[in-house]
Amino acid sequence: MIKVLVVEDSPVVREFLVHVLGSDPDIRVVGTARDGEEALETVRHQRPDVITMDIHMPRLDGLEATRRIMETHPTPIVIVSGSDDPREVATTFDAMEAGALAVLRRPAGIGHPEHEATARELVQAVKLMSEVKVVRRWPRVWRQAHASRPSKMGLAPEAAQVRVVAIGASTGGPPVLQAILAALPKDFPAPILIVQHMAAGFVRGFVEWLAQSCGLPVHVATHGELMLPGHAYVAPDEFQMKVEHGGRITLTRDAPENGLRPSVSCLFRSVAEVYGCDAVAGLLTGMGRDGAEELRLLKEKGAVTFAQDKASSVVHGMPGEAIRLDAAMLVLPPDKIAAVLTNLANNRGKKERDP
């Protein structure tokens, strides 16, 4: 039985979420909280397996509550948002940086055509997150003081060129992507393509959140768009993102792969076909195995490939599968990935300048 705490300031929404979650025989709602202060107190007494967290609440909001819970009683947290405003949605990703595992849209009301599907999505997310072993997040001041920890890292092999970078991520991916993009130089000489698995409706808010802290322009990818160096392109909801000769993005309604659209596998296969050894590609934290086989294909084509290391991954499914398949040339923590990408790009520039 999965014990869940529901944190939500609206009584109507709170009872609705209790009803949705309680309808599953494997879930028991052990408590509710009207704000972050009540949530902290309930977590101490009830020790839930998963918390669903609202963001906008009185006294103590969901962001600060998430931060404090992860610093004192680390628990898998799912942010449940009822907002459609991309700017408001962007603030929910700050909670992921603080340690929340996923952001989901609040299920549609009873009688709505999408009620069953969205309710099932929340239930499934809670079940999946209950299996994640979260670790304590130390207070921000402590983290900053200890940020420069040594880590083992192989030397980045030289690529023929770096004409494109492709990255796939799932659970725990947003803050890792933010850290990587924020550390890249503004004159990074290649476009960056990103598939981040997340609930429908959050991509625009995610892109705005990334853009706030990155020196590089970040876009939701559009069909036929010409990729520009130093720009990042995030796959939109319900489209497979591919590349074509001439450096343009193609969006299609092709069938889901590994149950996903967008799929990392689809992107990587396209990049392997068009760019081959002139690509760099990697898998970050996430459940499942999306993209792992195709990362091996990229490696076989001569591309530089990497996977996030286990110690820094919230879930080591996707990168772990890539490592198992010997698809990753490099296994790196997030703070080393940007350095490797920059090093590869600089090597390319040097090779182009040399006679």
Phi and psi angles of residue 160, each rounded to the nearest 5 degrees, phi first: -60, -45
pLDDT given at position 144: 41
Domains and CATH numbers, the chain: 2-139 (3.40.50.2300), 164-353 (3.40.50.180)
Q: Using CA atoms, how far apart are residues 107 and 121, in angstroms rounded to an integer? A: 8
pLDDT given at position 137: 63
Among candidates 70, 68, 80, which has minimal Cα distance to 14? 80
The catalytic residue among 83, 130, 170, 270 is 170
Specify the pTM: 0.86
Give pLDDT tens digits for 211-236.
988 889 999 999 999 999 999 999 99
Which amino acid is present at 318? Answer: M
197 catalytically annotated: yes
Q: Exposed, middle or buried, 224 (CB in 10 Å: 0-12/13-18/19+)?
A: exposed
CB atoms within 10 A of CB 76: 26
pLDDT given at position 240: 98
Q: Using CA atoms, how far apart are residues 307 and 329, in angstroms rounded to an integer? A: 8
pLDDT given at position 89: 77
H or E stretch at 86:
helix 86-97
Q: Which long-range contacts (CB under 8 A, 24 or more apart) does 296-301 make?
A: 296/322, 296/325, 296/326, 296/327, 297/268, 297/269, 297/272, 298/268, 298/271, 298/272, 298/327, 299/326, 299/327, 299/328, 299/329, 301/272, 301/276, 301/277
Q: Using CA atoms, how far apart are residues 168 and 77, in angstroms rounded to an integer? A: 22
Residues 6 or more apart whose Cβ sits within 8 Å of residue 309: 151, 319, 331, 332, 333
Within 157-225, where are the H helices? 173-183, 203-213
The catalytic residue among 49, 83, 197, 309 is 197
Q: Exposed, middle or buried, 220 (CB in 10 Å: 0-12/13-18/19+)?
A: middle
Question: In what order do the strands lie in the sheet containing 164-169?
Answer: 218-220, 232-234, 192-196, 164-169, 279-283, 304-308, 330-332
CB atoms within 10 A of CB 180: 26
The catalytic residue among 35, 54, 61, 290 is 290
Measured at the CA of 176, the angle between CA 190 and CA 70, to 5 degrees, comes to 170
């090779």: which residue's tokens? 351
pLDDT given at position 146: 39
The secondary structure of 326-342 as a DSSP string is: T--SEEE-HHHHHHHHH
Give pLDDT tens digits for 91-131.
788 888 888 999 999 999 999 999 999 999 999 999 989 98
Q: Using CA atoms, how far apart are residues 239 and 256, in angstroms rounded to an integer? A: 9
Q: Which residues of the chain have pLDDT under 70?
A: 86-87, 136-160, 347-355
Q: Exposed, middle or buried, 346 (CB in 10 Å: 0-12/13-18/19+)?
A: middle
pLDDT given at position 5: 97
Q: Using CA atoms, how far apart are residues 103 and 54, in angstroms rounded to an integer? A: 10
